[in-house]
């Protein structure tokens, strides 16, 4: 049985030679080129990172950005990634600046979501603090007409399902919830069957990619440099999808490939390859009648 998924081209999948956490993350390719590449490959939306979004606003204005995305035939845009929304001191000051900007941009552009992450510095924060901070962030996202999704990542303080569920459980699920990425589930040792323990209203976004079974270098190096197209690594992506669909999830799927090899490609070729590989995983799904 096959389904008809709606796929989002996450920012770094088609941005070209830029990498997260490596200084300047502004794409060397125009928004027109990236949006056109995503739409022609079959994607329904694209992602933008904060630095790139600021550069695009300076060049086009929000109205111009919205027109470029719509003219390409895309329906959705997402932003990433907001960090330190739970922190204090100078970290919180910088995070609040990004938060205010992304919320304003989301309201202007009708953003589908803002992706957020946990602490990746090793600093300890209480669950109560994380929970109250996320609940407030989700409320603000709702006021801006968008939602926030927190990504489980094994090298952060949000590395397992019980912790993630505890953080989001007080938020309005219309405006805040969880992002499940097949890479992070595998590297974090989270069984796909455990998705059944998540209150389904809090599964808000899914991301797809792949990798070799063996970790090379640190987990941060591996996630930033060596992801593969879905179905071209050792993760069982169709099985992951089957467990996601079994929860009742019917939302969008992001395709997020962070790869030294993919960064060498043009946006058009990266979009074409990533979309085709992902769709082959959906075509390999085996679902009970009525599950789609």
Domain range summary for the chain, segments of one domain joined by +: 7-275
1 C-beta neighbours (distance < 10 Å), count: 11
Asked if 189 and 161 count as a contact pair (C-beta separation under 8 A), the reply is no
Q: How would you write the pLDDT of the chain (292 residues) with one tens digit per residue?
A: 457 899 999 999 999 999 888 888 999 999 999 999 999 999 999 999 999 999 999 999 999 999 999 999 999 999 999 999 999 999 999 999 999 999 999 999 999 999 999 999 999 999 999 999 999 999 999 999 999 999 999 999 999 999 999 999 999 999 999 999 999 999 999 999 999 999 999 999 999 999 999 999 999 999 999 999 999 999 999 999 999 999 999 999 999 999 999 999 999 999 999 999 999 999 998 754 344 4
Structure tokens at 253: 């799927």
Q: What is the pLDDT of residue 82?
A: 98
Specify the CATH number for 7-275; select among 3.30.360.10, 3.20.20.150, 3.10.310.10, 3.20.20.70.
3.20.20.150
Q: What is the pLDDT of residue 21?
A: 83
Q: What is the pLDDT of residue 3?
A: 76
Q: What is the pLDDT of residue 118?
A: 98
Give the C-alpha separation, 42 to 276, whole Å: 9
Q: What is the pLDDT of residue 23?
A: 81
Q: Can you tell me which residue has the tokens 């300076």?
A: 58
Structure tokens at 175: 């405006």
Per-residue pLDDT tens over the stretch 146-165:
999 999 999 999 999 999 99
Q: What is the pLDDT of residue 289?
A: 36
Structure tokens at 137: 């962030």
DSSP string, 70-88: HHTT--EEEEEEE--TT--
Q: What is the pLDDT of residue 287?
A: 56
DSSP string, the chain: ------EEE-HHHHS-S--TTSS----SS-HHHHHHHHHHHT-SEEEEEHHHHHHHHHHHHHHHHHHHHHHTT--EEEEEEE--TT--HHHHHHHHHHHHHHHHHHHHHT-SEEEE----S-----HHHHHHHHHHHHHHHHHTT--EEEEP-TTSS--SHHHHHHHHTTS-TTTEEEEEEHHHHHHTT--GGGGGGS-GGGEEEEEE-B--SS--S-HHHHHHHB-B-TTSSSS-HHHHHHHHHHTT--S-EEE---BTTGGGS-HHHHHHHHHHHHHHHHHT----TT--
Per-residue pLDDT tens over the stretch 257-272:
999 999 999 999 999 9
DSSP secondary structure code for residue 202 in this structure = G
Q: What is the pLDDT of residue 18?
A: 95
């Amino acid at each position: 049985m096959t389904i008809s998924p709606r796929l989002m081209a996450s920012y770094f999948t088609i941005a070209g030679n830029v990498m997260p956490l490596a200084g300047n993350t502004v794409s060397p390719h125009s928004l027109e080129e990236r949006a056109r590449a995503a739409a022609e490959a079959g994607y329904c939306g694209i992602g933008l990172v904060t630095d790139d979004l600021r550069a695009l606003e300076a060049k086009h204005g929000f109205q111009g950005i919205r027109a470029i995305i719509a003219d390409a035939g895309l329906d959705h845009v997402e932003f990433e990634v907001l960090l330190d929304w739970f922190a204090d001191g100078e970290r919180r000051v910088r995070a609040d600046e990004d938060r205010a900007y992304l919320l304003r941009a989301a309201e202007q552009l009708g953003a589908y979501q803002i992706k957020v992450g946990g602490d990746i510095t090793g600093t300890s924060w209480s669950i109560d603090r994380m929970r109250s901070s996320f609940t407030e962030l989700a409320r603000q996202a709702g006021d801006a007409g968008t939602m926030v999704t927190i990504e489980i990542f094994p090298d952060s303080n949000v590395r397992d399902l019980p912790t993630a569920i505890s953080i989001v459980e007080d938020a309005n699920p219309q405006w805040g919830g969880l992002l499940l990425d097949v890479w992070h589930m595998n590297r974090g040792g989270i069984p796909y069957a455990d998705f059944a323990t998540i209150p389904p209203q809090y599964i808000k976004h899914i991301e797809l990619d792949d990798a070799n079974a063996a970790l090379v270098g640190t987990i941060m190096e591996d996630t930033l440099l060596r992801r593969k197209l879905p179905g071209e690594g050792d993760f069982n992506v169709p099985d992951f999808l089957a467990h996601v669909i079994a929860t009742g999830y019917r939302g969008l799927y992001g395709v997020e490939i962070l790869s030294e090899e993919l960064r060498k490609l043009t946006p058009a070729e990266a979009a074409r390859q990533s979309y085709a590989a992902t769709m082959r995983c959906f075509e390999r799904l085996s679902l009970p009648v009525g599950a789609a």
